Structure 1
Amino acid sequence: MSIPDHSQEVPLVASIDVGTTSSRVILFNMLGQEVSKHQIEYSTSASKEKFASVGARRFSVDGNSSPGAGTGTAGAGTGTSATESRLNSSTPIFSAEGIAIEATEFLEIEDLEGPSVPTLSFPRPGWVECNPIGILAHVVQCFAANLISMNKVNSDRISSKLAPYRIQCIGIANMRETTLVWSKKTGAPIVNYGIVWNDTRTTGIVTEKRNSTPQALQDRLRAKTGLPLYSTYFSCSKLRWMLDNEPAVRDAYENGDLMFGTVDTWLLYHLTSNHAFVSDITNASRTGFMNLDTLDYDDELLKYWDISRDKIHLPKIVSSAEYYGDFTIPECIKTNLTPIAWSLLCDFTSRTPPVPIQGCLGDQSASLVGQLAFKPGAAKCTYGTGCFLLYNTGAKKLISNHGALTTFGYWFPHLEDKDHAQPHFALEGSVAVAGAVVQWLRDNLRLIPKAEDIGPLASRVNDSGGVVFVPAFSGLFAPYWDASARATIMGMSQHTTASHLARAAVEGVCFQARAILKAMSSDAAGEGQKDRDFLEEIGEGTYEKSPLSMLAVDGGMSRSKEVMQIQADILGPCVTVRTSSSSECTALGAAIAAALAYEKREDRKLWKDLKDVKKWIMYGGVEPGEKPKDGFEPPQARIFRSKSLDTDRRRKWKLWEAAIERCRGWTDIVEDGVNTMGNNSTAAKNM
């Protein structure tokens, strides 16, 4: 699509980033800098109970504080001095990524009072649900808050004779696999929850499938999806569970009224004027229904999960960077906004030309793009609620033989370079628990008062004192893929201290990252490499000589220099750890996708191509080696290299592998009864 020339305005791109524990909207400029940002941390079923007695503070989108406001209406209601007193003494709230949360005019903590459904719920052990309407409302609230901020900034810029900012386009990044269903007739959710990616309620379904499926069929289906068939992680088993356990969902399915989608599809459907019903390949490839070769739904996969194309509406699978529709505000969340916010948003959506939504990436793929890891062989690791590693394999699809999964990194079809315009594959490894183990140590064990204390506490000792902590609270993901494993702490003695436990918890995350990198490097090297450990070998053709020698990191735990040094020590001398220059890689990746979506090169006002993205974000608009313009200083990244001794590092790795074997198959043993305890090792080996 073509846009008119706005030479007197500075273009920005808006990024909507919906995570597991919060939603945010950020406005980026050409340098990849944040011009404006607003974020809402979700309330949870646990936080509502925990903080109901102390109250919570909400902020309206006009920036005014509104203590004790009613849930669902930003800025509504007034507080009392008693409420203010409770607020001033209330316990701080923390995100699952391990970051302390304090409300500001840019960050809102969702109201914890009132009878409404929290955005994130944990109704049973292992169950995690989200509120679809709540997520949609938070996105719009954050967007309105950014418009307020931009208007204020533009007033100052105009008075200073500077060109005003203008939002040119919008991109979306979202938590993947989370499964939502809604009505074709009304657009409303069929049930008032979606099943979040880390929910484990489908363990029985995937176990039954595994036990009843011939190995040849398993191998064929896995080659199509690139995913392990029998993990609770992906959308296929979640949709099957809803159909089997929710009569309303089943009725909508039988009547042809059922719409299925992940969070990206839900947002795009409600935030575009044409109700775009689409999903980009990075999200669609996580459902378990998509064929990696055809880039479309596969009849054999649908049949395997007993899903009929004739009875369900599946979103069209599209690229990560193309025009989806023009931004609009859904009526269903009008009551969640103040009149001022609604009026402001209506003015924005009536703008000429309208603002398109045209970038979409699953969060981990968005982080890969935001880390500027465009070259095949580039790897990144994001430490959030979980831990996610992606390795860019370019246009080459690699099916892992070592426990990693195959997914899509991105697809920017309008780029002039044919190699860059092709869909880019990635190998991925996922750790279910990363920042969440810090939250557990803080909230459940009360080992630390603040999440950011984990690094200093762990660094008080040189090692874990023989303690190994496998934080498999909801099973093991890559490369082990054991949904029946559970968290274990082994090797404790009377010598064990809080510091040893903290260090063992951090090491547990870092060891899993090492296991994934080992698997990926073996896959990249080709067949016959199963038993080789490229992270330990030094020499020609080994890991040190491969493109994986640098690991780019971002996310909450990456902010701790102590934690990242532990990660570097566990990886060893073959890998250097580099922190991201941007604190918002995920949101930045979605912004890049949107800015590159225009078919005509001249319409791309921020960046022309991937090379241009690096030129502006990393070097301030000049070629590498040249002096930056206007005093621009390239963002600095921190580098961490291993300081560990080879003998110590290898000994600790053997302890980790032994601990993994002992924690596997735990829930199977529990379900089988006490009499099977003697078969523990046999059961684990047969997983």
Structure 2
Amino acid sequence: MLEPLYLALDQGGQSTRAVLFDPSGTAVARARVAVGQACPDALNTEQDAEELVGSLQTAIARVTQTVGAEGGMRIAAAGLATQRSSTVCWDTRTGTALSPVLSWQDRRAAALMPAYGDHAPLITQRTGLRLSPHYGAPKMRWCLDNLPAVKAAFKAGHLAMGPLGSFLVFRSVVPRALVVDPANAARTLLWAHERQDWDPELLGVFQIPWETLPSCAPTCHPFGAIPAGGAFVPLTILTGDQAAALYCEGTPRTDTIYINIGTGAFLQRPLERQPVDQGRLLWSAAARGGGEDRDVLEGTVNGAGAALAWGSEALAYPDLARDCDRLLTDGDPRPLFLNAVGGLGSPYWRPDASSRFEGDGTRAAKAAALIESIVFLIQENIEALCAIAGPCAALVVTGGLAMSDGLCQMLANVSGIVVRRPAESEATARGLAFLAAGHPRDWPAGTGRVFQPMGDEPLRERRARWRALMPALIDG
């Protein structure tokens, strides 16, 4: 009897990926479809919703074509992950998008924040998150206030709003379903931990009509079937990209911090229960159903890959991301970079902070300082996580920027903690496959690369100077 295959679908900011895994966690086929992203100004970051639907369909067709009709018939289950705070509005009659996809990076609703300020403690208490224009509810409110097609659909009674994952499910599965999972629902600021459903009081705060939202379901759920390779594959997992990446090596460990470094850097520490005081971090739903409920203490760095993109333009250095390792070994004296690209995330939470260099240097030295600043911001969050949850034994790093050996070694040196990089670069996809396979106990972690901490006094001295300068950036 032929082994089953598991289809992992990862829709991200730059591309949509489809990967087929066998029961050993080995990728047997891959497809990638590039997608566009528009940033018309400093606040707006959006994508074309119809393009994302098409990219998902194309990626599925390509990956199933790779394994042929017989391979396609072996696909036992599928999982879908999306960027958690990306939000869209659509018509429930036709499925047509009525708004662009407002990316997780989008901050067009920033002007609305003062109106909700008095409710910030309630929002944190119910959701574990902080009031921010990056999350879904302010974006939905902005769409209701500013987009005529959204207003008209609401008046006519056929408006749906919610996370991107819900929209892609609505457009992809048979029979059609209007549903959302906990990891994506939580990023709206409308889903309460205790209720595990939409919270009436929070809906009232943002004036979001309950009837426009998807129904809440567990992470593991019969969401419907996706056409793939001439067959219909059960979609059994819907979650966020970071929540899926947590499972890249199998069941997450509570003594480990999982760091996914892409456009942003997201740090997750699995905990048994919600901490009495989560400090200036986030408490997030990672999974519900399928035999386990799991939550994480989470830190967020907005300026990771986004900072490299910013630096490529600001420094006229188009190959900055590709040249990470070479730049980090450059001997030129480095300035310090106070990195607030995309706004300062945890533990500072200053969306209006502005980036700047302290000191001068060559273009290459400034580029190296920018890369270094990503590590420094990650370290701020590592220390905050350990202060609440206790010392950690290892850091597991995944994502595009984790492919830089120099960055991984620098992170080990500055943290003093062993850094482990899994062999499979598609961490979100592999985590999805693990979940879709039903949490197999014998799921192998896979051989990767380990970076042991090394003494680096100049690095620690630069970080101390960088940290001393951050209060001035935070205070404006």
Task: Flag whether TM exceeds 0.5 (same fold).
Answer: yes
Query: In the alignment, which residue of structure 1 is the partner of 2:284?
Result: 407
**Equivalent in the alignment of 2:364:** 499
Alignment-derived partner of residue 659 in structure 1:
469
Q: What is the deviation of 1:313?
A: 2.1
What does the per-residue CA deviation read over 1:576-602, in whole Å, with 9 as the maximum and x for residues that have no partner? 111122111101111122221xxxxxx
How far the C-alpha of 1:209 sits from its partner, in A, is 2.3
Residues 1:179 and 2:87 aligned together? yes
Scaled by the length of structure 2, the TM-score of the pair is 0.94
In the alignment, is the contact (CA less than 8 A) between 2:10 and 2:82 conserved in 1?
yes
Distance 2:267 2:249 in 1: 12
| Contact 1:322/1:358, CA 8 A, preserved across alignment | yes
Which residue of structure 2 aligns with residue 456 of structure 1?
A: 326
- Is contact 1:378–1:391 with CA below 8 Å preserved after alignment? yes
Alpha-carbon distance in 2 for matches of 1:639, 1:165: 41
CA distance in 2 between counterparts of 1:208 and 1:468 reads 36
1:653 deviation in Å? Answer: 3.3
In structure 2, distance between residues paired with 1:445 and 1:251: 45
Mapping 1:631-670, distance limit 5 Å = 634-645=446-457, 648=458, 651-664=461-474
The residue aligned with 1:287 is 188
**1:123 to 2:40 alignment:** yes
- 1:450 to partner: Cα distance: 5.7
CA–CA distance in 2 between the matches of 1:638 and 1:557?
16
SS state at 1:460 partner: coil
When residues 316 and 642 of structure 1 are mapped into structure 2, their CA distance, relative to the original with a 3 A threshold, is farther
Q: What is the rounded CA distance, in whole Å, between the counterparts of 1:410 and 1:378 in structure 2?
A: 17
Residues of 2 paired with 1:642 and 1:611: CA distance?
Answer: 34
Structure 1 or 2, whichever has the larger Rg, is 1
Query: Using a 3 Å threshold, how does the CA distance of structure 1 residues 293 and 518 change in structure 2: closer, same or farther?
Result: same
Q: Among the aligned pairs, what percent are the same residue?
A: 26
Aligned residue type for 1:515? E
- The DSSP-based 3-state class of the residue aligned with 1:355 is strand
1:192-231 matches, within 5 Å, as 193-210=100-117, 213=118, 217-229=119-131, 231=132
**1:144 aligns to 2:61 (yes or no):** yes
Between the aligned partners of 2:44 and 2:242, the Cα distance in structure 1 is 22
2:76 corresponds in structure 1 to 168
Alpha-carbon contact 1:169-1:355 (below 8 Å) kept: yes
Evaluate the alpha carbon distance shift between residue 252 and residue 376 of structure 1 in structure 2; reply closer, same or farther with a 3 A threshold.
same
Q: Tell me which residue corresponds to 1:306.
A: 207
**Residue of structure 2 aligned with 1:424, choices 291, 294, 304:** 294
| 8 A contact 2:412–2:451 mirrored in 1 | no
Give the letter for the 1:659 counterpart.
L
Match of residue 394 from structure 2: 550
AA aligned to 1:455 is D
Partner of 1:529: none
Once the two structures are superposed, residues 495-529 of structure 1 have per-residue CA deviations (whole angstroms, 9 ceiling, x without a partner) of x223321221111101111111111112225xxxx
Is 1:577 matched with 2:419? Answer: yes
Q: In the aligned structure 1, how far is the partner of 2:277 from the partner of 2:402?
A: 27
Instruction: Kindly state the Cα deviation for residue 437 of structure 1 after the two structures are TM-superposed.
Output: 2.3
Report the equivalent of 1:611.
441
Aligned partners of 1:184 and 1:259 also within 8 Å:
yes
1: CA distance, partners of 2:424 / 2:327: 26
8 A contact 1:438–1:454 mirrored in 2? no
Asked if 1:325 corresponds to 2:242, the answer is no
Query: Deviation at 1:611?
Result: 2.2
Q: Deviations over 1:235-273 (max 9, x none)?
A: 111111111111221222233221012121111111111
**Residue 230 (structure 2) aligns with:** 348
For the residue of structure 1 that corresponds to 2:108, the secondary structure is coil
Show the 5 A alignment for 1:17-56.
Answer: 17-43=10-36
Counterparts in 2 of 1:580 and 1:359: CA distance versus 1, 3 Å: same
Query: Is the CA contact 2:413–2:454 (under 8 Å) kept in the aligned structure 1?
Result: yes
Q: 1:399 to 1:447 in 2, by over 3 A?
A: farther
Question: Which portions of structure 1, spanning 4 or more consecutive aligned residues, are displaced by more than 4 angstroms?
Answer: none
| Contact 1:359/1:591 (8 A) holds in 2 | no
1:490, distance to aligned residue in structure 2 (A): 1.1
CA drift of 1:449 comes to 3.5
What amino acid sits opposite 1:428 in the alignment?
A: E
Tell me, in whole angstroms, the C-alpha distance in 1 between the residues paired with 2:56 and 2:318.
32
Unmatched segments (≥5 aa) in structure 2: none
C-alpha separation in 1, matches of 2:29 and 2:461: 48
**Contact 2:23–2:437 (CA<8 Å) still a contact in 1?**
no
C-alpha RMSD over aligned residues = 2.1
**Could you say which residue in structure 1 is the equivalent of 2:269?**
391
- The residue correspondences of 1:349-388 to structure 2 (distance < 5 A) are 349=231, 354-388=232-266
* Correspondence 1:511-550 to 2 at 5 A: 511-525=376-390, 543=391, 548-550=392-394
- The 1:315–1:399 alpha-carbon spacing in structure 2 relative to 1, beyond 3 Å, is farther
Ranges in structure 1 where 5+ consecutive residues have no aligned partner: 1-7, 44-119, 155-163, 329-344, 416-420, 526-542, 597-608, 619-633, 665-680
Q: Which residue of 1 aligns with 2:411?
A: 567
Which amino acid counterpart does residue 19 of structure 2 have in structure 1? I
Q: Report the alpha carbon displacement of residue 380 of structure 1 after superposing the two structures with TM.
A: 0.6
2:433 equivalent in structure 1: 591
Whether contact under 8 Å (1:324, 1:358) holds in the other structure is: yes
TM-aligned CA deviation for residue 199 of structure 1: 0.9
C-alpha distance in 1 between matches for 2:85 and 2:419: 28
**For residues 659 and 200 of structure 1, do their structure 2 counterparts lie closer, same or farther at Cα, with a shift above 3 Å needed?**
farther
- The match for 1:253 is 154
Q: What is the alpha-carbon distance in structure 1 between the residues aligned to residue 423 and residue 62 of structure 2?
A: 25
TM-score for the superposition, normalised by structure 1: 0.66
